[in-house]
Chains A and B, each alone.
Chain A
Amino acid sequence: MSGFDSLLIPAVLFFALGVFAQLIKSDLKFPEGMAKGISLYLLMAIGLKGGAELAKADLGIAFQAIFWAFLMGLIIPLIGYALLRFRDRIDPFNAAAITAHYGSVSAATFLTAIAFLETSGIAHESYPIIMMVIMESPAIIVGLVLAMLARKKLAESKPAVAGQESVGVDTGSLLKEAFTNGSVILLMGAMVVGALASPDAMAKVYPFSNEIFMGVLCLFLLDMGMEAAKRIKSFKSAGVTLVSFGIIMPLIGGTIGVFVGVTLLDFGPGGAMLVAILGSSASYIAVPPAMRYGVPEANPSFYLTLTLGVTFPFNVVIGIPMFYQMAIWYSGL
């Protein structure tokens, strides 16, 4: 499957329908809390599936995958920060908060990538699922440290402004929240359940975790399409530099992911494309709340516009098929 065909999978088409519905100002709307409920289901289902497959996996490769995932989570935000700070284009606090999102991952993009592979009958390794769990949190640490350094530098260069207080962030509690974030716990917990449960018992759960999965994903992407289109209005306030970053950064992260997947982990094109999606996608679940509290100087509308309005649609429509083709090409070298 390549080119235009890759867009003709139900999940992507429903995403397009969501964008269309929002653009024509349709009154299509999900009941309150439904999107949050669906995302819990999706995380649980993918965790169960991944856990069952990882039970049969090679521990050595799993540890290597964890190691590289952790490293990607640390390095990608540093690259992003350097790009945003180039010629002082973006202030250090917004740069730190934005780049933390890019080191973390978007589960919805990852699930769409799995839908792309499964609909096309392309085999893929299951290790990227555990990599997704690992990559949720390290970037938060990078973002907080970068903001802390920026604060220190600012305090040295400027005397304190009357009425303002330095941001004393409780880093310990923030890190605890990052590692015990609901999505991390659910995904990790479902993986453990999937790995420990007997195959016979798991077979009884398949109607829930496998058979309805694609349909629920379509519903979720319909909603995400509406959400992405809503953010288009904020492009003007975000500015050309940030919107461009929302496209350039996934290209860099995805290329790193293809390299890690193919060269360092020896995955096939399917698995390497999933690693690329981990590198290219930007979090909108675990990171934003941490940045809202940890880097209050940054504008939340910037990072939510970028992750939901620019990078998510870019990856769903262009990134997934492009990184798959890149992985095939690179594997063949």
Chain B
Amino acid sequence: MSVVTHDEKIVQIITSSSLEPRLLETFEKIGITGYTAFNVRGNGDSGIQDSHIDADTNILLMIVTNPESYERLMEALNKYKRRGQHLMVFSMNTEVLS
């Protein structure tokens, strides 16, 4: 049995849940329609984020995207960062089962 995969990019964003609606709007503008969101906990520059109240709830957004949308997404996310918003963004190459 042969397995067919194609190359994509995974982008993961850790940020405050208060940014979620705006990021989703950005995804929509870029044409990204699919994403997965998790509630996550941790500690960092913004202090303890333990999902106790809305103000200290962080999310992890995961997007699998093609190389064209990837460029536009990273540019848009960079714009958030340049404005001083707190986001941790990292990406990886991935193979997706066709």
Interface residues of A (CB under 8 A from B): 32-33, 35-36, 39, 163-168, 227, 230-231, 234, 284-285, 288-290, 292-293, 296-297, 299-301, 304-305
Stretch touching chain A among B61-69, B76-84, B89-97: B76-84
Asked whether B55 lies within 8 Å of A227 as measured between CB atoms, the reply is: no
Query: In chain B, residues 1-60, which have Cβ atoms closer than 8 Å to a Cβ of chain A?
Result: 16-19, 22, 39, 45-48, 50-56
Give the size range of B's interface with the partner: 20 to 34
Minimum distance in angstroms from B68 CB to a CB of chain A: 24
Contact present for B55 and A284 (CB under 8 Å):
yes
Return A175 CB to nearest CB of chain B, in Å. Answer: 15
CB within 8 Å for A300 and B53 given contacts A165-B83, A292-B16, A292-B19? no
Chain B's nearest CB lies how many Å from the CB of A47? 19
27 residue pairs A–B, Cβ–Cβ below 8 Å: A32-B51, A35-B53, A36-B53, A39-B53, A164-B84, A165-B83, A166-B83, A168-B83, A227-B52, A230-B50, A234-B47, A285-B53, A285-B55, A288-B18, A288-B53, A288-B54, A288-B56, A289-B16, A289-B55, A290-B18, A292-B19, A293-B85, A297-B84, A300-B16, A300-B55, A301-B47, A301-B48
The answer to whether B84 touches A300, judged by C-beta atoms less than 8 angstroms apart, is no
Inter-chain residue pair count (beta carbon < 8 A):
73
Among A230, A299, A301, A305, which residue has the most Cβ atoms of chain B within 10 A?
A301
B54 pairs with A36, CB closer than 8 A: yes
| Known A-B contacts A163-B82, A296-B86; A305 and B22 likewise in contact (beta carbons under 8 Å) | no
**Residues on A with beta carbons closer than 8 Å to the beta carbon of B84:** 164, 167, 296-297
B77 to chain A, nearest CB (A): 13
Chain A residues, Cβ within 8 Å of B52:
35, 227
> Smallest CB–CB gap between A136 and chain B, Å?
13
For B49, give the chain A residue with the smallest CB separation: A300
User: Which residues of the partner chain B approach A164 to less than 8 Å between Cβ atoms?
Assistant: 82, 84
Nearest chain B residue, comparing its CB with the CB of A183: B54
User: In the complex the two chains form, what is the Cα distance from A297 to B46 in whole Å?
Assistant: 11
Structural contact, A293 and B55, CB atoms closer than 8 A: no
Main secondary structure of the interface of B (DSSP, over half): mixed
B46 proximity list for chain A (CB < 8 A): 299-301
Q: How far, in angstroms, from A231 to B49 measured CA to CA in the complex? A: 11
- A329 and B18 CA atoms in complex are apart in Å by 43
Which A-B residue pairs are the 10 nearest by beta carbons?
Answer: A301-B47, A288-B55, A289-B18, A296-B84, A165-B82, A300-B46, A296-B85, A292-B18, A167-B83, A292-B16
- Which residues in B have their C-beta under 8 angstroms from that of A36? 53-54
The docked-state distance in angstroms from the alpha carbon of A164 to that of B82 is 5
Closest Cβ of chain A to B6, distance in Å, is: 34
New contact pairs (11) apart from A35-B53, A285-B54, CB-CB < 8 Å: A36-B53, A165-B79, A231-B48, A288-B18, A288-B53, A292-B16, A296-B86, A297-B84, A299-B45, A299-B47, A304-B55
Point out the residues of chain B lying under 8 angstroms from A231, CB to CB: 48
CB neighbours (8 Å) of B47 from chain A are 234, 299-301, 304-305
Q: How far is the CA of A299 from the CA of B53 in the complex (A)?
A: 17
Q: Which residues in B have their C-beta under 8 angstroms from that of A296?
A: 83-86
Q: How far is the CB of A173 from chain B (nearest CB, A)?
A: 8
Task: Kindly state the separation between the CA atoms of A23 and B27 in the bound complex, as whole angstroms.
Answer: 43
Q: How far is the CB of A242 from chain B (nearest CB, A)?
A: 13
Residues of B within 8 A of A230 (CB): 48, 50
Chain A residue contacts of B53, Cβ below 8 A: 35-36, 39, 227, 284-285, 288
Most buried by B among A163, A230, A296: A296
Q: How far is the CB of B64 from chain A (nearest CB, A)?
A: 26
B55: A residues at CB distance < 8 A? 284-285, 288-289, 292, 300, 304
Which residues of chain A have C-beta atoms less than 8 A from B22's C-beta?
Answer: 293
Complex Cα distance, B84 from A296, in Å, reads 5
